[in-house]
Amino acid sequence: MDLGIKGKWALVCGASKGLGLGCAQALSAEGANVVIVARGIGELERTAEALRAASPGVQVIAVAADITTPEGRALALSAPGGPGTAFDIVVTNAGGPPPGDFRAWDRDAWLKALDANMITPIELIKATVDGMAQRGFGRIVNITSSAVKAPIDILGLSNGARSGLTGFVAGVSRSGLAAQGVTINNLLPGAFETDRLKTTMEGAASKTGQPVDAIMEARRKTIPARRFGQPAEFGAICAFLCSLQAGYMTGQNVLADGGAYPGAY
Ligand code: NAP
């Protein structure tokens, strides 16, 4: 299926590896030009090279920046070829807050989580949606977490910050933007095989004193698919949400979790 996004400009945050990279791969494979953002320049440049090699017709611009800072966002939004108002697609993502015990988190820890997982996506939405609306096409996909629907105790910072974003998106996606061709959806990963998953499992291992492998095996058994997801699978769903065909889908929280969430709704 042709997703109808060839030649469009996409900003993909947190894209040097993991789920963001999965999204950048899927979008560029569909012919979208991508601006990819991450803090570490080395891995980001290697990723950009690999994307260019995989999709020779598309433009790939690497921006080394911390997307959670105003300066980082300004840099990403003014990237050559894709100034803020000209992005057609924005995938927000900033890495997740650390796991832990809520008793250990002070005000600064909360502000950092809110900045990364709530305020940054809101600022990126604010900077891009009006230009999208004027052009009559826009797609925002926020990478959040299945923890929004089924909170995980040690991920309290994530549960809290992402719930704030989810509430904001539910409102703004149904504002006048919906009638102007701009959709805003959240894509909720369950357990995907990335470095982040490894870190989360290591956190659980040190909390319980069990080996990481045992924690991972136990987690796999809780997933009906009996495996962790692959970033490419996540990217494919993201690309669909960014497609022409998904224009009637907005304000949704789309779970990709191998069936782990047990509810009907
Ligand atoms: P990952 O493998 O650790 O990759 C994170 C990516 O984001 C890297 O490219 C990282 O590069 C970049 N990044 C992190 N902080 C950034 C910042 N401040 N500014 C710009 N780039 C930044 O993580 P992932 O597994 O793909 O997770 C992506 C998101 O999904 C996270 O929010 C995570 O909490 C959430 N999630 C993941 C899972 C899962 O199973 N993987 C499940 C639920 C939710 P640099 O470090 O070089 O900046």
Cα of 236 to ligand 1 centre, how many Å? Answer: 17
How buried is residue 212: exposed, middle or buried, by Cβ count under 10 Å (0-12/13-18/19+)? middle
How buried is residue 179: exposed, middle or buried, by Cβ count under 10 Å (0-12/13-18/19+)? exposed
Cα of 191 to ligand 1 centre, how many Å? Answer: 13
How many other β-carbons are positioned within 10 Å of the β-carbon of residue 101? 10
Taking only the tens of pLDDT, the chain with its 265 residues reads 999 999 999 999 999 999 999 999 999 999 999 999 999 999 999 999 999 999 999 999 999 999 999 999 999 999 866 555 589 999 999 988 988 899 999 999 999 999 999 999 999 999 999 999 999 999 999 999 999 999 989 899 999 999 999 999 999 999 999 999 999 999 999 999 999 888 888 888 888 899 999 999 999 999 999 999 999 999 999 999 999 999 999 999 999 999 999 999 8
* Residue in 12, 13, 17 to alter for ligand 1 test, most ligand atoms within 8 A of Cβ: 17
Rounded CA-CA distance 20/24 in Å is 6
Q: How many whole angstroms from its chain centre is CA 53?
A: 23
Cα of 182 to ligand 1 centre, how many Å? Answer: 25
17 contact partners, CB below 8 Å, separation of at least 6: 38, 43, 47, 194, 195
* pTM of the full structure: 0.96
Rounded CA-CA distance 238/242 in Å is 6
Q: What is the DSSP string of 118-157?
A: IIHHHHHHHHHHHHHHHHT-EEEEEE--GGGTS--GGGHH
